[in-house]
Amino acid sequence: MPILPSCESALSSLPESLLVGVSGGVDSVALLHALVKTEHKPVVLHFDHGWRAESGEDAEFVRELAEQLGLKYIGDKMRSTAKVHREAEARTARYAFFAKTSKRLGIADLVLAHHADDQVETFLMQLLRGSGAAGRGMDPVSRRDGLVLYRPWLGIWKKEIMAYARKHRLEWRDDATNVDTRHRRNLIRQRVLPYLQKQIGKQVPDNLLRAAEISRAESEWLDALCADAADQSELSVKTLQATPLAQQRRTILRWLQARGAKDISFIDVEAVRGLLENVSPAKINLSAGKFARRRAGKIFME
C-alpha cells in the first residue's frame, strides 16, 4: 500500500541545491518552512506582480522571512505600467525572472508550492475549457526556460498545508497569486467543486486528483513514444499512417508545438491528420499565419 506523503516526507527526493518561489501566501511560506526543516537551504525568489497597491509589502515580508531563516533572498517586480496584467503575461514575466536568476546563480532546480487542490482545479479547468490534449494537470517534475520545476506537494491537500502552518505557528500574507486568477480558478474552487461534491459526493476531489495523476503519467508515457517523430522537421505520411489513431494525434500535436505553433486545438490536430488522406486538400491553415502542407509523402510546416 503506498504511504500517503506528509508535507515534509514529500520533500525527501529533492536535489540539494534549490531555488524556491515564495509569494508570501500560506502555501509557499509553509513550503519554505518545511524545506528548512528538512535541511534544505534554498535561495528564496519573490516576484511582485504589482496586482495590489500593497504588494510591495508582500516582497518586504518575504525578504524579512528569508533573512530570519538565514537564506539568500532575490526579488524582482513586474515592469509593465499597466494596472492589470493578464495572467499569461504575469506568468511569462515571473518565469523570465526565475530563469534569469537561475542562470546567474547556476542553480537550475526550482521548487513550487502547487498542491492537490491546485492540481484538481487545473485538471478540471483543462477538461471543461477544452485543450488540444485531454486534461492532464501539472507535472511533479517539468522543464521550462532552462529551469527544472519541482512540485512536490501535488499530492498534499490545502487543508494539510493549513494544518502544518497552524501547527508551526507560521505567519503569512494573503496570497497575491490568487488575485489575478480569481475569475477562472476561483469559480472552480469556490463554486463548481463544492457543487459537484454536494451533488455527487464528498469524494469528488479525490477522484479527480486520481484521474489527473493517471492522465498525467499516461500522457508522459505517450509523449515518450512520440518524441522521435515529433522531433523531426517533417512528418512521414507513410510512417504516421501505420500508427494508431491516438499516436497520430499525439505525434501531430507535439510536432506542431515543437515547430512553434501556438494554441493548437483538437480541430487543428484533426485537420493536419486529414493530410494523411489523399482526398483532402494538401494544405491546412493553422493559427498565426502558419500552414501545414503535404508534399512528396511528407508533412511540412510553413
Interhelix angle for 245-258 vs 266-274, to 10°? 110
Please say whether the dihedral angle defined by the alpha carbons of residues 230, 231, 235 and 241, taken in this order, is positive or negative. negative
The answer to whether the CB of 69 falls within 8 A of the CB of 36 is: yes
Query: How many residues bind a copy of itself, per CB under 8 A?
Result: 43
Among 114, 151, 250, 294, binds a copy of itself (CB under 8 A): 250
Does position 2 bind a copy of itself by CB under 8 A? Answer: yes
The answer to whether the CB of 186 falls within 8 A of the CB of 178 is: yes
CB of 110 to a copy of itself, least distance (A): 23
Assigned C-alpha cell, 173: 500574507
Among 196, 232, 290, 300, binds a copy of itself (CB under 8 A): 196
Segment interacting with a copy of itself (CB under 8 A) among 7-15, 38-46, 131-139, 143-151: 131-139
Does position 128 bind a copy of itself by CB under 8 A? Answer: yes
Among 33, 151, 249, 294, binds a copy of itself (CB under 8 A): 249
Among 171, 231, 270, 302, binds a copy of itself (CB under 8 A): 270
Among 266, 276, 298, 300, binds a copy of itself (CB under 8 A): 266
Binders of a copy of itself among residues 77 to 96 (CB under 8 A) are: none
Q: Indicate the DSSP class of residue 95.
A: H
Backbone phi, psi, residue 81, to 5°: -95, -5
Rounded to whole angstroms, how far apart are CA atoms 97 and 109?
14
Q: How many CA atoms lie within 13 A of 104 on its CB side?
A: 10
What is the identity of the amino acid at 197? Q
| Chain mean position to CA 99 | 15
Q: Which residues make up the interface to a copy of itself (CB under 8 A)?
A: 1-2, 127-130, 133-135, 187, 191-192, 195-196, 199-201, 203-204, 206-208, 210-211, 214-215, 217-218, 220-222, 224, 244-247, 249-250, 266-267, 270-271, 274
